[in-house]
Amino acid sequence: MAKELLTLDNGTTCTSWNYSGTRLAAGSVDGTLSIFDSRDPPSSSSLHSTFKSRVLEGNIVKIVWIPPEYGDAVACISADGIVSLWEEVAEDSQSLQWKMCKSFGNSSSKVLDAQFGISLTSLKMVAAYSDGNVRVFELSDPLELRNWQLQAEFQNVIESVSSFGKASCLSASISWNPQKGGSQESSFLVGFNSNTSELNSSKVWEFDQAHQRWLPVAELALPEEKGDQLYAVAWAPNIGRPYEIIAVATHKGLAIWHLGLNPDHDGRLPVERVALLSGHEGMVLLTGVYR
């Protein structure tokens, strides 16, 4: 029988569990960030509030936890496209408090989505903007979450030269390859819901260590569907499969793709759409894909 863990306040717009499933972050329409922790012992299966404060002027539309290797911290994305990074710290031997350590965004374009990923050398954050640009930030000091630098900026297109006017994007979705460790380079998936067809289809970007740049290595869309507006993507964890599994949601339904691991002579990875789950009457949003 299902058991209620928590009743959230009216006006709650988004929630996010941390990586271990022991802490819940919630954002509200008035910019309030709330943190809930599991009670001790965890077997009691209940949550209690440990932090609640208005951290932004506007609506919080998404919350993303930083990987636990870098401490307890969350990124809050506001409706006006600003990302603020909040970290739990102890100051002057007092109790733990949440403090803002970094803000991303500007007045010219909004952040539509942001996700964190661990590379071979550092923590990275990829952000998709309303002007169609993708920016990758790198944490220069693992002990200081305020010290970020811009590593790369590009558009979500396969061809190196594309001619189109200024893009206007309503939303975007990003998913990092959830692999950790080993010698595999960092890679992530991104797609847009925009007025520019070249940006929309989900594409896999992989970091080329030899040339220190991000390269598109796969496009997950049939030729006749490359301009379809995209709503959400999710990359499944891989434990021993000879291929990756990725879910892509458009207005036509939820497509399940297999992504090969061995590139061809052009450096591209083979892709195959193995299922299309249609019949949804509204927009499909993904929170994760599991094995």
- 26-65 residue pLDDT tens: 999 999 999 999 876 555 568 889 999 999 888 999 999 9
Confidence label for 96 from pLDDT (cuts 50, 70 and 90) = confident
Q: Are 246 and 178 in contact (CB under 8 A)?
A: no
Q: Which residues pair with 22 in a beta bridge?
A: none
Kindly list the distances between the CA atom of residue 194 and the CA atoms of 78, 173, 191, 197, 279, in Å, as whole numbers in the listed order.
19, 12, 9, 7, 23
Residue 22 in tokens: 């022991």
Q: Are 175 and 232 in contact (CB under 8 A)?
A: no
Confidence check: pLDDT of 132 > 60: yes
DSSP secondary structure, 251-262, as one string: TTEEEEEEEESS
Print burial letters for 237-248: b (CB count within 10 Å at least 16), e (below 16).
ebeeeebbbbbb
Listed in sequence order, the residues at least 6 apart from 194 whose beta carbon sits closer than 8 Å to its beta carbon are: 132, 167, 168, 169, 170, 200, 229
Closest residue by Cα to residue 55 from 108, 112, 109, 98: 98
Confidence check: pLDDT of 120 > 90: no
Residue 225 in tokens: 């569907």
Print burial letters for 7-28: b (CB count within 10 Å at least 16), e (below 16).
eeeeeebbbbebeeeebbbbbb
pLDDT of residue 152: 95
Residue 85 in tokens: 């990074």
150-204: pLDDT as tens digits: 999 999 998 766 666 678 999 999 999 987 555 567 899 999 999 999 999 999 9
Confidence label for 85 from pLDDT (cuts 50, 70 and 90) = very high
268-290: pLDDT as tens digits: 999 999 999 986 655 555 555 44
How far does Cα 277 stand from its chain's mean position? 23
Q: What is the mean pLDDT of residues 75-99?
A: 87
DSSP secondary structure, 221-250, as one string: S-GGGTTS-EEEEEE---SS-SEEEEEEEE
15-36: pLDDT as tens digits: 999 999 899 999 999 999 999 9
CA–CA gap between residue 60 and residue 81 (Å, rounded): 10
Kindly list the distances between the CA atom of residue 213 and the CA atoms of 136, 153, 209, 275, in Å, as whole numbers in the listed order.
11, 10, 7, 32
